[in-house]
Every structure is written in C-alpha cells, then in structure tokens.
Amino acid sequence: MQPITLVGSGFKPREQVRVTVVREDQTAVRPVAANREGAFVVGFVQLTLRRCAALSVKASGARGSHAVLKLAAPACSSH
C-alpha cells in the first residue's frame, strides 16, 4: 500500500482544479492549481492504493476542463 499521488495535464494554465478520489468506502477531495502549462501533481496521503481495490478519480477545473479516471478492481486471489 502506498499513498495516492496523481499527475494531471491538459488543463488551462493556472486553472483551479478540484480533484476527487473515491476508493472503496473512502472519498477525499483536494484543491490544486494547474501550473502555467496546465499540469498539476496532487497527493492524497490519507488514502492508500490497495492492490485489489477499485479507484475512481475526477478532476474538475474552474474554467471548464475536466478529466475522469476509473480503475476497476483486478481479479485477486483470496490467498
């Protein structure tokens, strides 16, 4: 398990972005500002990425940019 760090690009320069992560029964929201190239890096130390868990990410920019990422839970054995 590791804290979740996300990298976004393709947003408008210096756009304010609201990043929402949903993992199992946990949701976390972080605001971040895109840099002058429209990219950002944001960390969610309160959430960890588990090998067998699904993950959903939504990034919504204040000037209309948006992105969605959905990772389905992989088939994991119970051992």
Predicted structure pTM score = 0.86
- The answer to the question of residue 79 being in a domain is no
Predicted local confidence at residue 79, as pLDDT: 54
Closest to 76 (Cα-Cα) out of 56, 50, 43, 57? 50
User: What whole-number distance in Å separates Cα of residue 71 and Cα of residue 53?
Assistant: 9
Q: Domain total for the chain?
A: 1
CATH of the domain at 35: 2.60.40.3110
List the chain pLDDT tens, one digit each, 79 residues.
567 899 999 999 999 999 999 988 889 999 999 999 999 999 998 887 777 888 899 999 999 999 999 988 877 766 5
- The answer to the question of residue 34 being in a domain is yes
Predicted local confidence at residue 70, as pLDDT: 93
Q: Containing domain of residue 63, as a range?
A: 2-71
